[in-house]
Structure 1
Amino acid sequence: MGTVSTARTARRLAGEHPAWLLLRSTDAAAAVALLGRHLARGTRHLSEADLVARLEDEIAELRRQGFDLAPSARSQVAEWLRDGILVRRPCVTPDGPHAPGQPEQIEQIEQIELSDGGLAAVAFVARLARPHPVATPARLAIVLGALRDLADDAEPDPETRLAALRARRARLDAEIDAVRHGTVTPLAPGDAAERAREILALAADVPADLLRVRADLTSADAGLRRELTASGPTRDAFVDDVFRGVDHLGDTPAGRGLTAFGDLLDDGEHDAVAHVTRLLQAPGATAELTSGEVAALRRLVADLRAATDEATGTMTALRRALQRAARSGDLPLERALAGLLREAEAAALELADDVPPHTPTSLVLKLPAVAPVSPSGVVPHDPADDRPAPLVRPRPAAPAGSGAPVDLAALRALARAAEIDDDELRGYVNDVVARRGAATIGEVLRVHPATQGLASIIGLLALAERHARRTGEAEDVAWPGPDGTFRHARLPRHRFEEPVP
């Protein structure tokens, strides 16, 4: 690459790469300290509300000390999100406690975390603050050993590969004989500490690498969703693949790499934990390490597992969402709804600093007589089941110019058939109570017959449970059915003694 091309690339990165934007910003020093403290040490992601609450006091104190930061934590977080230093990602978490033997309910929520560029900038500053020799023998030994293993594994000639394996076996046999004869001494504390630091330095780059994998997965998911919104044979083939169980997201380079990384960690995790334990128990092996480096060694495997699980959870959530979108065919509608929700959220955030939370509004939302519930409250939800709920498909519209015109009375009748007219029943009860001073359900029905049949009986009984006094007796009620025949039932007697609000 020529000088001009390199300079142009650097200029582009300076204007768009999150790491470069963070390091050249006026608040770089404070940003690195805040983000490193809250999103790069153990805790990798937080909800926006939790992050703002944690940063509020610290940003105020830094501003008093002369650091150039936004006036509030919320606006500072919004600025970091705009620059790509922070990103919003779906996070799959357990949805509360679950009964023993029952499947764990899974909830997907949106949380904020450092982008791969933001994490790289924080790690870069941390290395500057704790410099160590770069050209160390330990790092050179790791590089040369990795090159040797790569050359051996990539060798296509069986004879050359066999010779390499025999040489490796000879080296191992020589080491075994030396240990048997007691001629091998352990590494000096300084050399052991040096190798441990190199391992920690290499492992520190893994979370940033996995963040890039998650970003690549999100980008690949966006490309696959564009195929869903397209029309023609491409989309049909894609949907067919989904129904046949083809994992398009897992077949991307990022998906294959993440799967291989997870398999390798699964195979070696137990041994790695045992190796760390042996290292920490060896006399003098960690004598020259700081307490922070020893703590980092203790949680090394756990941190690798947590970062891998987060990336795998992202791929699982994206895969399931893609499968549901392909099977439901409602992706355009979902995208439109998501856009409206983002617009509403943006408007709410703009007003949050000026409008108190309890400010009354003139908006009134009339609730139906039947309380709305989540589908998961009616049908048990299995998180392992990717199949969507059965679709409710509307009847195809009649061709223009055919059929009778729309009848408003018919539409009102359909609405009454689908919903209990709570206002009508409340008016009937208040009318009878105003005349008599008190009334039961049977007395209300004798004055005002049930216009909705059984639905009116259910509505009156619901009103009585909330606003009437139960006497402990029973009464007979009657109402006309659809065929004109009267139906009868025996209900607990309730007495309305005052108007229903």
Structure 2
Amino acid sequence: MSTVSIARTARRLAAEHPAWMLLRSGDAAAAITLLREHLAGDVRRLPEADLVERLEDDIAELRRQGFTLPHSAGPQVSEWLRDGVLVRRPSVRAGDETGPEQLELSDGALAAISFVAGLARPHPVATPTRLSIVLDALRDLADAVEPDREVRLSALRAERARLDTEIEGVRRGTTAVLEPAEAAERAREILALAADVPADLLRVRAALTSTDAELRRGLTESGPARDAFVDDVFRGVDHLAETPAGRNLIDFRTVLDAGEHDALGHVTRLLRAPGAAAELTPDEVTALRELVGRLRSATDDATGTMTALRRALQRAARSGDLPEEQALAGLLRAAEATALDLADTVTPQTPTHLTLKLGAVGPDSPAGIRPHDPADDRPAPLVRPRPPSTDAPADLAALRTLARSAEIDEDELRGNVNDVVTRRGTATIGDVLRAHPATQGLASVVGLLSLAERHGRRDGDSEDITWSGSRGTLRRARIPRHRFEEPVP
């Protein structure tokens, strides 16, 4: 890249990047101090009103000490939002709902705060612990991508030999215990590395939010890509989880879930070791005790953001935001307007001569409810249409049989009941089944029970009925006795 290109990029970043803008602001020292104290510690997110209230006293005190700040916190917070130093995030609640918006630091603001903290407390450029972590990670990466099986086996044998030597040294007591000062230095290295994790997860959340915005823009554009995306949403495919940021977050959570319990035990052992805790400051001891909890909190926060974005995206794909749904809503509104125009001239009792046959099981029946399993996030398999066959014509009888298997034939059952009532005067469900077989098996029995509850009279306790199943097997049941005393309309 040429010098001119680098300079242009730097000029653009100086005018747009929140970290650079924060460091170039009128009183960057006060701004970074306020942001670090209220949003970069244990508390990472606050409602705007709460943040303004917490800043008021601090801003008044800093102004008395000569710092150039607004007279109230409200304009300062608005400026930070405008410059991208603060960002708005919906708070995550249980279920599908999100709470009121809250403010948190952007990744650029965290970078500026981390930069200033490094200036105040400079860290060694390369310590043995940090260097060993880098070399170990490099070795693991090289082993993971090595295609030669013999090379990988050789590396594993060498690692096993090293572990055997170390185990034998511990067994004989010849392995020296780490000195407290060196142990404390390694603990500080771990804290320094872990301090970057919340900022990394914040960048993951920013990437997920950006991807979510791109996916939402795709919902408004007609075409095969949009249709395929909507199909994936209805199948349960999580496009956010398939992005690099989503996979990174899922892998991070998997590692934390697997090692969280052991890590808590390691911290306890470290602080109980003779002399190790004495070499650490009280703040460092507290940071070690809270290390795993803070990692868990940051991970859960990022996971909650991805979950909220995914659910909001699913609702957007299934709501009236799509062009087809908007067109359907327009037609419904037009029909409603026409009905209102005709309301003065057409009475409610005017027959329309339109009928709609409904099944015996109503939509509000428990049989029609399918409980949702929140733990089942597996997408449904792709439905691949079978190409139509042109060799044989459609079998009308087969189509009628298929339709009857999906819907209870109330017309047939009503005719059967009326036939028995006309001949005998009254009839129970057992009388109807003895006169007319249950052509749909159990579905016919359910349909007769539905007709009896609506048009029959309860008569006695119960009665025994029989009918033939789909394979000719005789079925028996005891049902409440109902009596039809007049034809069913």
TM-score range, shorter chain: 0.5 to 0.7
1:154 and 2:91 aligned: no
Query: Following TM superposition, by how much is the alpha carbon of 1:136 offset from its aligned partner in structure 2, in angstroms?
Result: 1.3
Query: Following TM superposition, by how much is the alpha carbon of 1:234 offset from its aligned partner in structure 2, in angstroms?
Result: 2.4
- Distance 1:287-1:132 versus aligned 2 partners, 3 A rule: farther
Query: Following TM superposition, by how much is the alpha carbon of 1:51 offset from its aligned partner in structure 2, in angstroms?
Result: 0.3
Q: Secondary structure at the match of 1:186?
A: coil
Q: Secondary structure at the match of 1:113?
A: strand
CA distance in 2, matches of 1:153, 1:215: 29
CA contact (8 A) 2:96 2:308 kept: no
Indicate the residue corresponding to 1:341 in structure 2: none
1:167 and 2:158 aligned: yes
CA contact (8 A) 1:108 1:317 kept: no
Unaligned runs of 5+ in 1: 95-103, 335-390, 414-501
- Distance 1:185-1:398 versus aligned 2 partners, 3 A rule: closer
Query: Following TM superposition, by how much is the alpha carbon of 1:287 offset from its aligned partner in structure 2, in angstroms?
Result: 2.3
Match for residue 326 of structure 1 among 301, 317, 321: 317
Match for residue 236 of structure 2 among 245, 257, 260: 245
Match for residue 216 of structure 1 among 194, 207, 215: 207
State the 4+ residue runs in structure 1 displaced beyond 3 angstroms. Answer: 104-107, 331-334, 391-394, 403-411
Indicate the residue corresponding to 1:397 in structure 2: 334
CA contact (8 A) 1:85 1:115 kept: yes
Match for residue 306 of structure 1 among 286, 297, 300: 297
CA distance in 2, matches of 1:406, 1:263: 61
Query: Following TM superposition, by how much is the alpha carbon of 1:24 offset from its aligned partner in structure 2, in angstroms?
Result: 1.5
CA distance in 2, matches of 1:253, 1:50: 34
Task: Say which one has the larger Rg.
Answer: 2
Query: Following TM superposition, by how much is the alpha carbon of 1:58 offset from its aligned partner in structure 2, in angstroms?
Result: 0.9
Q: Secondary structure at the match of 1:108?
A: strand
Indicate the residue corresponding to 1:3 in structure 2: 3
CA distance in 2, matches of 1:152, 1:405: 74
Match for residue 282 of structure 1 among 251, 256, 273: 273
Amino acid at match of 1:91: S
1:265 and 2:202 aligned: no
- Distance 1:84-1:404 versus aligned 2 partners, 3 A rule: closer
- 1:195-254 CA-to-partner distances (Å, cap 9, x unmatched) read 111111111111111111111101100111011111232222211111111111111111
Q: Secondary structure at the match of 1:135?
A: coil
Query: Following TM superposition, by how much is the alpha carbon of 1:410 offset from its aligned partner in structure 2, in angstroms?
Result: 7.4
CA distance in 1, matches of 2:253, 2:173: 39
Q: Secondary structure at the match of 1:71?
A: coil
Amino acid at match of 1:397: A
Query: Following TM superposition, by how much is the alpha carbon of 1:317 offset from its aligned partner in structure 2, in angstroms?
Result: 0.2
Q: Secondary structure at the match of 1:134?
A: coil
User: What is the root-mean-square deviation in Å for CA atoms of aligned residues?
Assistant: 2.8
CA distance in 1, matches of 2:125, 2:74: 39
CA distance in 2, matches of 1:81, 1:259: 29
Indicate the residue corresponding to 1:69 in structure 2: 69
Amino acid at match of 1:292: D
Indicate the residue corresponding to 1:82 in structure 2: 82
CA distance in 2, matches of 1:280, 1:404: 77
Indicate the residue corresponding to 1:137 in structure 2: 128
- Distance 1:174-1:81 versus aligned 2 partners, 3 A rule: same
Query: Following TM superposition, by how much is the alpha carbon of 1:393 offset from its aligned partner in structure 2, in angstroms?
Result: 8.5
Indicate the residue corresponding to 2:56 in structure 1: 56
Q: Secondary structure at the match of 1:138?
A: helix
Indicate the residue corresponding to 1:13 in structure 2: 13
Q: TM-score, length-normalised on structure 2?
A: 0.66
- Distance 1:392-1:410 versus aligned 2 partners, 3 A rule: farther
Indicate the residue corresponding to 1:444 in structure 2: none
Q: Secondary structure at the match of 2:279?
A: coil
Match for residue 185 of structure 1 among 169, 176, 187: 176
Unaligned runs of 5+ in 2: 349-489
CA contact (8 A) 2:90 2:102 kept: yes
Indicate the residue corresponding to 2:390 in structure 1: none
CA contact (8 A) 1:15 1:21 kept: yes
Count of matched residue pairs: 346
CA distance in 2, matches of 1:44, 1:222: 23
Q: Secondary structure at the match of 2:116?
A: helix
Indicate the residue corresponding to 1:225 in structure 2: 216
- 1:116-162 CA-to-partner distances (Å, cap 9, x unmatched) read 11112112212222223222111111111111122122211110000
1:176 and 2:113 aligned: no
Q: Where in structure 2 are the equivalents of 1:92-491 lying within 5 Å? A: 92-94=92-94, 107-330=98-321, 395=332, 397=334, 406=341
CA distance in 1, matches of 2:206, 2:320: 25
Query: Following TM superposition, by how much is the alpha carbon of 1:309 offset from its aligned partner in structure 2, in angstroms?
Result: 0.6
Q: Secondary structure at the match of 2:198?
A: helix
CA contact (8 A) 1:93 1:109 kept: no
CA contact (8 A) 1:192 1:286 kept: no
Q: Secondary structure at the match of 2:123?
A: coil
Q: TM-score, length-normalised on structure 1?
A: 0.65
Query: Following TM superposition, by how much is the alpha carbon of 1:258 offset from its aligned partner in structure 2, in angstroms?
Result: 0.9
Q: Secondary structure at the match of 1:110?
A: strand
Query: Following TM superposition, by how much is the alpha carbon of 1:308 offset from its aligned partner in structure 2, in angstroms?
Result: 0.6
Query: Following TM superposition, by how much is the alpha carbon of 1:4 offset from its aligned partner in structure 2, in angstroms?
Result: 2.4
Range that drifts further, 139-148 or 170-179: 139-148
- 1:369-404 CA-to-partner distances (Å, cap 9, x unmatched) read xxxxxxxxxxxxxxxxxxxxxx9886362699xx89
Q: Secondary structure at the match of 2:102?
A: strand
- 1:446-466 CA-to-partner distances (Å, cap 9, x unmatched) read xxxxxxxxxxxxxxxxxxxxx
- 1:422-467 CA-to-partner distances (Å, cap 9, x unmatched) read xxxxxxxxxxxxxxxxxxxxxxxxxxxxxxxxxxxxxxxxxxxxxx
Range that drifts further, 33-42 or 107-116: 107-116
Amino acid at match of 1:173: D
Query: Following TM superposition, by how much is the alpha carbon of 1:41 offset from its aligned partner in structure 2, in angstroms?
Result: 0.7
Amino acid at match of 1:255: G
- Distance 1:231-1:269 versus aligned 2 partners, 3 A rule: same
Q: Secondary structure at the match of 1:111?
A: strand
Q: Secondary structure at the match of 2:332?
A: coil
Query: Following TM superposition, by how much is the alpha carbon of 1:293 offset from its aligned partner in structure 2, in angstroms?
Result: 1.2
Q: Secondary structure at the match of 2:104?
A: strand
- Distance 1:332-1:290 versus aligned 2 partners, 3 A rule: farther
Indicate the residue corresponding to 1:474 in structure 2: none
CA distance in 1, matches of 2:339, 2:198: 65
Q: Secondary structure at the match of 1:279?
A: helix
